[in-house]
Chain A
Amino acid sequence: MRPPAEPARNFRYISKKRRTKEDRRFITGAGHFVADISLPGMLHVALVASPHPFAQIISIDAQAALALEGVKAVLTGEELARATDPLMSGLDIPKVRRYPLAVGLARYVGEWVAAVVAESRHVAEDAAELVEVTYEPLTPVLDPEAAMAADAPIVHPDHGTNVLFQRKFTWGAVEADFAAADRTLCFRARWNRSSTVPIETFGVVAMWHPATRLMDIWASIQMPKFPDLLARALRLPGNAVRVHFDVDVGGSYGVKRGLKHSVLAGYLARKLGRPVRLIEDRIENMRGGDAHGPDRIFDMGVAFDESGVIRSLRIRALDNVGAHAGRAPFQLGKPVGAIVGPYRIGSVEYEAISVTTNMTPQEAVRGFGQAPTNFALETTVDRVAHALNMDRIEVRRRNLIHHEEFPYTIPSGSTYDSGDYHVVLDKALATAGYQDLLRRRDATRAGGKLAGVGIVCCLEPSGGNASFEPLFNPKNETTTWMEACGIRIDLNGTIIATMGTSSSGQGHETLVATVIGEILERDPDTIRVIHSDSLTALPSNSPVGSRMAIMLGGAAAKAADKLKHAITAIGAHRLGVAADAVIYRDGDIALAQDPTRKIAWDTIVEIAHRKFHQLPPGMEPGLQSMHVLDVPTGGSLPTADGRVQMYPCYAFEAHIVYAEIDPITGQVALRKYVVGHDCGTMINPDIVHGMTCGGIAHGIGAALYERFAYDENGQLLSGSFMDYLIPSAHEVPDIEIVDHCTPSPHTAFGQKGSGEAGYLGAPAAVASAVNDALSPHGLNVATLP
């Protein structure tokens, strides 16, 4: 392990307020989104969706649709399933098969049953209404507990049960700790179904080139291994699919994983010999886009002492993934890496259960299951404080891991890298003016309103190792989730860096340019960063799990280090001295003894590109490098009892929120929001702060406004922005961020991840404030929203 980076490390570009590279194209309307791509002869897809939550498909009559002028094809699930392989599933559940279009059974309202392809989207939609599908409705199962009953309707009859995954982990002496504790309590917490719901829906354009046997794909995608999975499902060699990562993705936060959309569009493009575009409209996105989020029941048990020390936890998490699995069940797995939150809790029992029901399938949502878990954990801590009649902050202080205890290994096997939790909490409290806030609360209460202060401490695991895969599926021996960067310096001396994934607002171009600029001492504004396509790209696992500052930033740093070595070697050789006799300054190489004797950047570039006779013997010409970075601390499979190093870095958040509630309408107004945030070294503070504020806004939505609600018949009630409420500027208060920097010892500059910041604590914080407001009335709510 490397020694920790110095917090006060003097960077030239890193951690400085600098404009991003990406923003200019977006403020001028020059973004390159998938819906902006229009190809000659392009056809358009509209979808026929199931109106039933569970039904046998008896027949599909496409005659009237096909008769409409401009209609090119109507595709059914039967045909597509013959020509393609099932979409991947993370768990070992081979009989839970999933195809882009329903085959035989329609399993949720909105599931795609047929696809209509036409010369225009308008005609395709007209024709979709003419497709006549005959169904035999079946009794659906919607409730996850009912789905586990012996007599429940089975969503995937071949699988034989609605339980997709169930395992109870015991880490440490749970039973003894519960027996020895002064007190115990248990309760149920409910995290209802919401999602990230980006303003841009998912879209894909596919084009098949018969002469070269190549499938071109442009998609608004944020998905690990998307090109490989797409090729497999289409039964094409991997190198016959070219995914263009230069498509700007209009928000994702986890969910933009339109594998089914892309398989469908790809198949149609090949079948029809024309480019095919599929852009979800809003109802398709909300209902059939397969992008709902966790839907979870927590049964929590906690053992604690009169002193406020928490000894042990019992957690049972039952998650309703909807009608298909995908990677969604893994969202019960990632929280294993921070299952005790930021606290010194000695033992844990964790039972994770994933069930299938007749609801829209779940997809990865910002935090990959950590936000619901943090909500359950923080609600537990508040309840312990309440039971002991002890201050909520004091209980937290007594249980938070101390700065000097890092690296700290939790019972489930992950080692937290670094942190300064008490200090960050204190800084947040000071900024919030906590005592004033309490006085304000009490005054508001005296005036007849409900008012409360919410307190939350939580972790953001970052770095995106996929250890939950082998943990939940022993056949899957994934122990790394590498990321790569390539750098080239051209003959004119300018720098071009290549990354192998698309971005959805995270500012990766700025990240890469800043890191390279820092190491090579060149102005990041002069560095061009390219999103390559999947055939020219180096390996990537996409920007998930708050990993890119660590992984892409780390790969860029290593690749830049290699170039710096090469430049130094060329300069030293030209000066006729050993490499350790020169210094690197702004890209020039100077004699350490006499810095006036130097070889300039331009000269070195020219030597590398065309003066082979001046290169050190045996050196490769040109100036290019690449680095593929393994996840720090990765590389191990889980132990038999399910202990594993999940993520390398752990960022910390302390949320303080003040809420007032109208006692008549119940409307919650957030009057103050402060978050203390420690994600190590920030590469670009504006980007980190922006994502943190956005994550908090998203978390406020999950706590108060957003829910994919179903009626008892399985009909989705909130399929538009009229009833699925995304917070506007009215609902989101001004947010104050208090920075703190505890560098990670595992990363190039001490950086940790931050892409899921804010969202991981905001729902719990809002819940905590609401419950504080309700507490004088003896009420408590443990259901979000």
Chain B
Amino acid sequence: MSHHHITLTVNGRPHKSQVPARLTLVDFLRDVLLLTGTHTGCEHGVCGACSILLNGKPVRSCLIFAVQADGMDIVTVEGLAPEPETLSILQDCFWETHALQCGFCTPGMLIAVRALLAENHSPSEEQIREGIGGNLCRCTGYKPIVDAILLAAERMRRSNAGASDATAG
């Protein structure tokens, strides 16, 4: 099996690696970079648990190979907080409304919402449901997630931080 050199940026840090051609991006992130916050739920692109930002766009990291991410910029759940031991406004709002239970879908959900709020600073409930429609959650029935997103959007607007999703208080 062929191996390939790749160079990419993950959560602001550059990485160089040699990977087998068939290694998926999610396995690369989890097994090589040990960023285990990104989860695999279905490995066929439906559940969204493995969502990451690839050059700013939310993608399913189980559906692309690590070699395809060569030269790209990646953000995972570990990169959402502005600094270690702090939370982004979005994360803080998920905590405040208890927008999760088991926490397994949460990293992918946060990524999807980060992408949504970067494009739309005041989404309606319908737009929110559209934005997270590709991320399955089995615990919450989505309501507390929708509440968290509405709250986060409002707080981000008020903090004048807009889409940059600055740190929570």
Contact = CB atoms under 8 A, between A and B. Distances in A.
Interface of A: 19-20, 22-31, 33, 35-36, 38, 122, 196-201, 248-253, 281-282, 504-507, 686-687, 689-698, 720-722, 726, 728-730, 732, 734-735, 758
A322 to B, nearest CB: 22
A695 B139 CA distance: 7
Nearest to B23: A122
Secondary structure class of chain B's binding surface, majority of residues: loop
Contacts of A720: 42, 44, 46
Interface stretch (B2-10, B63-71, B104-112, B156-164): B104-112
B141 A23 contact: no
A726 B135 CA distance: 10
29 contacts: A23-B94, A26-B100, A29-B36, A29-B38, A29-B107, A33-B39, A36-B30, A197-B138, A198-B102, A199-B39, A199-B42, A199-B138, A200-B102, A248-B103, A251-B138, A282-B42, A505-B100, A505-B102, A506-B101, A686-B98, A692-B141, A694-B139, A697-B140, A721-B42, A721-B44, A721-B46, A728-B133, A729-B132, A735-B141
B18 to A, nearest CB: 15
Interface of B: 20, 22, 30-31, 34-44, 46-47, 49, 76-78, 80-81, 87, 91, 94-98, 100-107, 110, 125, 128-130, 132-146
- Which 10 pairs across A and B sit closest by C-beta, in order of nearness? A29-B37, A26-B103, A250-B104, A505-B102, A693-B141, A505-B101, A29-B77, A697-B141, A721-B46, A686-B98
B102 A27 contact: no
Contacts of B37: 28-31
Given A23-B95, A282-B44, A505-B139, A200 B39 contact: yes
A291 to B, nearest CB: 13
Given A25-B103, A28-B37, A30-B37, A281 B137 contact: no
Contact of A734 (B39, B106, B125): B125
Contacts of B95: 19-20, 23-24, 27
B129 A249 contact: no
A137 B102 CA distance: 41
A19 B97 CA distance: 8
A726 B138 contact: yes
Given A282-B42, A720-B46, A33 B104 contact: yes
Q: Which of A122, A248, A250, A696 has the most CB of B within 10 A?
A: A250
B104 A251 contact: yes
Contacts of A696: 141
Nearest to A30: B37
Contact of A250 (B39, B42, B98): B39
B125 to A, nearest CB: 7
A28 B87 contact: yes
Contacts of B137: 199, 694
A38 B34 CA distance: 10
Given A199-B102, A690-B139, 9 more contacts: A23-B100, A28-B81, A28-B87, A31-B103, A38-B34, A250-B103, A506-B101, A686-B98, A726-B136
B142 A690 contact: no
Contacts of A758: 141
A730 B129 contact: yes
**Residue of B77, B102, B104 contacting most chain A CB atoms (<10 Å):** B102
A694 B101 contact: yes
Contacts of A282: 41-44
Contacts of A25: 103
A735 B44 contact: no
Contacts of A721: 42, 44, 46-47, 136
Contact of B41 (A31, A199, A505, A728): A199
B150 to A, nearest CB: 12
B38 to A, nearest CB: 7
A721 B62 CA distance: 14
Nearest to B81: A28
Nearest to A730: B133
A199 B78 contact: no
A282 to B, nearest CB: 5
A656 B122 CA distance: 31
Contacts of B41: 199-201, 250, 282
A204 to B, nearest CB: 16
B129 A35 contact: no
A198 B138 contact: yes
Nearest to A36: B36
B102 A732 contact: no
Contacts of B139: 251, 505, 690-691, 694
Contacts of B35: 29
A64 B123 CA distance: 56
A669 B121 CA distance: 28
A722 to B, nearest CB: 6
A253 B94 CA distance: 22
Given A29-B78, A199-B136, A687 B98 contact: yes
A19 B139 CA distance: 17
A433 B157 CA distance: 34
Nearest to B20: A122
B103 A732 contact: no
A249 B39 CA distance: 12
A282 B100 CA distance: 22
A20 B135 CA distance: 23
Contacts of B97: 686
B96 A19 contact: yes
Contacts of A735: 141, 143
A76 to B, nearest CB: 27
Given A27-B106, A27-B110, A686-B98, A732 B138 contact: no
A199 B142 contact: no
Contacts of A734: 125, 143, 146
A684 B77 CA distance: 27
A732 B44 contact: no
A346 B138 CA distance: 38
Contacts of B104: 31, 33, 198-200, 250-251
Nearest to B97: A686
A729 B41 CA distance: 17
A729 B105 CA distance: 13
Nearest to B102: A505
Nearest to A762: B141
B77 to A, nearest CB: 4
Given A282-B42, A691-B101, A27 B138 contact: no
Nearest to A23: B95
Give the interface centre of A24, A26, A200, A735 by most chain B CB atoms within 10 Å: A26
Contact of A28 (B77, B101, B102, B130): B77
A27 B136 contact: no
A757 B84 CA distance: 37
Given A29-B37, A693-B140, A694-B101, A729 B106 contact: no
Contact of A26 (B49, B106, B133): B106
Nearest to B107: A29
B98 A690 contact: yes
A23 B140 CA distance: 13
A19 B95 CA distance: 7
